[in-house]
Every structure is written in C-alpha cells, then in structure tokens.
A and B are shown apart, each in its own frame.
Chain A
C-alpha cells in the first residue's frame, strides 16, 4: 500500500495502488479519484535500470544477419547471376560463405579478402558440380590479384575441409570456345575465317586429348593449351586461307586474351605432330615442316594411337614386340634417365634406341622439361668429412675474425656512409 500524501478531492489518506488492465494507477479508496497513472510503455531509461545482465554477456543471439554478411551474400548472388549459374549453385555458394565467415580464421580478415572469399565459394561450388570455371575468370570479375585469390582459396579449402574435384578439360574446352567470336559473320572477321562451332570444338577436343597423352597438359595451366589447340584446329579446317594468320591475330579476331605460354604450347604441339607425321606412310615422301603439317592434322588425329606408338619409344624396346595395350605403353614410356632405370630387359632395347635416336628415330615419351632440362641436376651426397660434423665443435677466434670488420675499415665505412 503506497501512502503518498492525501487525496486532493476528499482528503482521505487511504490511497491504493491498483492496476486498471495493464496500467498502474494510484487511486483514492474513499472517492475513487485517480491520483496518478503509470505508463503503458516504459522508456529506454527505465528499461536500462531493469536490465541486470548486459546483452553481450547474455546467451541471446541476434537473429538478424550482420551488415558485412548481408553485403557478402548479395555479392555472391550477383556473381552467380553474372555467370548465369543455376539456383542450386547460388544456395550452395551462400551456405559456404556463411560457414566460412563464421570461422575464426575468416571472421576478422580485411574486406578485400572477404570479397574474395565470396568469389572462392562460387568457384568451389562450380568445381564441385563440374561446371568449368577458371580462376582467371573469377579474378577478372572481382578485379583481384591472382596470388591473393589463391591464398584465400587454399585456406578456405583447408578450413572448411572441402573436397574440390579436378577441372574437367573437356568441359573447359567447350566453355572457352563459347567465348570465341569466330562462329558468326562479323564486320571485322573476314569471310574465310568464320568456322562452324561443332567441328571446331570436336577437333580442339581431339588435339587437347592428344596433348594430355603426350605429357603437355600435366602440371601446366589449361587455358594456354586450349587456346593453342583451338588455333591449330581452326587452321587445319581451312588451311589455304588461314595458314598465314598468326596466333596473336587469331586471338584478336576471336576476341580472347592471348596467354603468354600459348606460343610455347603451340610449339610443343607442332613438334609432337611433326614426329607423328614422320610415321605416316603417305607423308614420308613429302618434306613436312611446321607450316605444312597443319594441313594434315585431320589424318594425324584419325590415326593418332598408331602413330604415337610408332613415333615414341616404349618400355619393351622394339615396337613390333610391344603387344601392350595402347594406353599402358603410352602411360609408362621409356624412363628418361637410362642409367637409373637399368632393368635387364631394357638393356637390349636401349643401346639400339640410342643409335636410332641419333638418326632422328623415336624418342622417349617424356614431359618437355625432361627433354630440355634447364636446371643443373643436384650434386650427390656430401663428402665424408662434412658428414662428421656434430655441431658442437670448438670455435677458433680466427674463424670468427673473418666476419668482423677491422677498426680502420669501420672508420672508412662510417665516413663513406656518413652514419648519423
């Protein structure tokens, strides 16, 4: 019972606090006069006093997403729309992004990295659904540096434990060729340069498969190989009109970037084709060089398994005795470092191969970096004297003196450098 003063109307001291519905009121018990009313709603200051536990210490969770997360999700969705990905991809990418952002190692990174994180989630989603998307495309869409993207991608893969399947070359060929502008007549593309898409895609796929069988794809960036293969297939479909066109001009007409390694890949592909051409019966009569071999690419691709077997040496020495299935023999190949390999069965084959190689005969099927090694091979194990080092030997003063400057030297150095 609150007794605050008297009722102004009747002067009674019997004041009662009662609630009229939800409203507290101070009422005179004698005459029913309402002296004071409580508030239906409390103010912020009132509520503050009622709070005993600070929000940050409570177990309550904000249902609303943070602004950073909202922005990131919008970015991911925009990326998916630009790339015209199915809705399923968008949902998966957003869920990855949310998971990643809650992870302690990504929670406090810079905004630039958070944006790249969104791009990485889209990239991972595409790879998991075998949608051929390259890192170059994502980096160009996000205006990001490749190194930073690579580091964010690798840490994302590690932290979330995602398994990302390898990029399928076949799909990549189709997607990459979709961006070429040579399949329709246009003002800047001369008529003989326009090509049928299906034929070009099919032939490029065959050349890329040939490249992967001959060690040109392993360990290399896929796009330059696809570009070089597309160029060769385009040239071979109408050689008379197109042989004079260079790779750079081809890329400019097609409206794609020319990646720098594409020239090297083209050279390697032509070398492989030349070797195969040397085994083709009706071409042995002609002198085939880098330009003219392009005309015969169709025939070379048609008989490529047979030609590869003949042009490159196998494990069993002579080709006639090699009854091994095509894939096994191509996969094994002759080991490059013959002394290290030294199996008894190969000793008969290798000397004769050595002679035949000098005559321009079959060479071992090896990755190009083994055929033209640029690095000096490392020297063998250290000498016996060095291996007796224990680390705890006594140190002589003279040995240390060589690492210290003499006083005159210090003076001269000081004068020259004018140290403050």
Chain B
C-alpha cells in the first residue's frame, strides 16, 4: 500500500465485559420481585438485569458476583457497574463495590479489501487456523497479547481479548 493511499481504519469497540463483587449474599428472589427490567432464571440460579442508559446487561449470582456486558467502552462499563451496585444497594443489600475488572473487550474493524482465506492461512501457519467446515472465518491468535482475531473473507475483522 502506498503512503498517500493510507486510509484511516475505524476500529469500533462493540462490547466490553467486566466483573465485580458485592461482597455480600444477594437474595435473587427479592431482586426479581422488587427490581424492574429483571429476568429471573431459577433453573441456573441467576438474575439478568438490564440498564437503559449505559446499555448494559448484568448477570447476578447469589454469591455476589456480577458480570456486566454490553458496554461500548471501559469507562462506560465502570459507569454501568456502579449504577448497578447502587440499584442493589437501594434494594436493601449491603453492597460494597469491589474487585472491578474488565475481562474482555470486543472490537470490530473493516478492511477496504477482500481477503483470500486459504492463502492467508498458509502464509500465517502457526498463528492462523481455518476450518471452513466449522466457521467461515480464520481464527488468528496472538499469544503475547492474549488476543484472538476472527478474519472474514469480506475484510471484516473481529478482535477479542
């Protein structure tokens, strides 16, 4: 590619997954009864709570562990997690917001060209793995960054890690 035809690539973060602990036991039935926007999955023992403003879905377990997904940035994930902890506090639980950690970030990027996957796999042997019978994309793993890239033939790349 020549320097003058360098196009700025838009990398869009589409999902950030984070976890935090409330350091107290949570009564899932009470949350399901008194919380709005809540789905109680009794068979697996968890409650799904959805927030509107940062569009976040939180999975709450009775042990006090909470996983938040759906944020579009790490700051927004923290923003949403704190709001969630506050809602649980208002429901009457002695919640302490601790051990907040961003676990996974998913980003999407589009290349302005198509990619021939079989040739790409041949040239990137140890890192790339392509099984057309299983998945239409090449799975490229970068061990040092602990990241996985899914490369599609249309030029769309999904980065997870």
Contacts and interface: CB of A to CB of B under 8 A. Distances in A.
Interface of A: 134-136, 150, 153-154, 157, 163-164, 166-167, 215, 217-222, 331-333, 335-337, 340-344, 366-367, 369-370, 378, 380-382, 386-387, 389-393, 395, 397, 399-405, 410, 413-414, 419
A331 B116 contact: yes
Nearest to B121: A166
Contacts of B37: 403
B86 interface: yes
A392 B86 CA distance: 13
Given A340-B112, A405-B36, A378 B14 contact: yes
Interface of B: 5, 7, 10, 12, 14, 29, 33-37, 49, 51-54, 72-79, 82-83, 86-87, 90-91, 108, 112-114, 116-118, 121-122, 125-126, 129-134, 136-137, 152-154
A387 B108 CA distance: 18
* Shortest 3 CB-CB contacts between residues of A and residues of B: A391-B78, A219-B136, A218-B153
Contacts of B75: 389-391
Given A135-B133, A219-B153, A389-B76, A166 B12 contact: no
Report whether over half of chain A's contact residues are helix, strand or loop; otherwise say mixed: loop
Nearest to A134: B133
A215 B108 CA distance: 22
A409 to B, nearest CB: 8
Contacts of A343: 5
A360 B12 CA distance: 36
Nearest to B139: A154
A419 B32 CA distance: 11
Nearest to A346: B5
A367 B130 contact: no
17 contacts: A136-B133, A166-B130, A219-B153, A331-B116, A332-B113, A341-B112, A389-B75, A390-B79, A391-B77, A392-B82, A395-B86, A399-B53, A400-B87, A400-B90, A403-B36, A403-B87, A419-B29
Contact of B78 (A136, A392, A400, A413): A392
B133 A218 contact: no
A335 B133 contact: no
A240 B56 CA distance: 61
Contacts of B35: 403-405
A22 B87 CA distance: 85
Given A381-B10, A391-B78, A163 B125 contact: yes
A404 B79 contact: no
Query: Which of A217, A366, A389 gathers most chain B CB within 10 Å?
Result: A389
Contacts of A135: 133-134
A150 B122 contact: no
A325 to B, nearest CB: 16
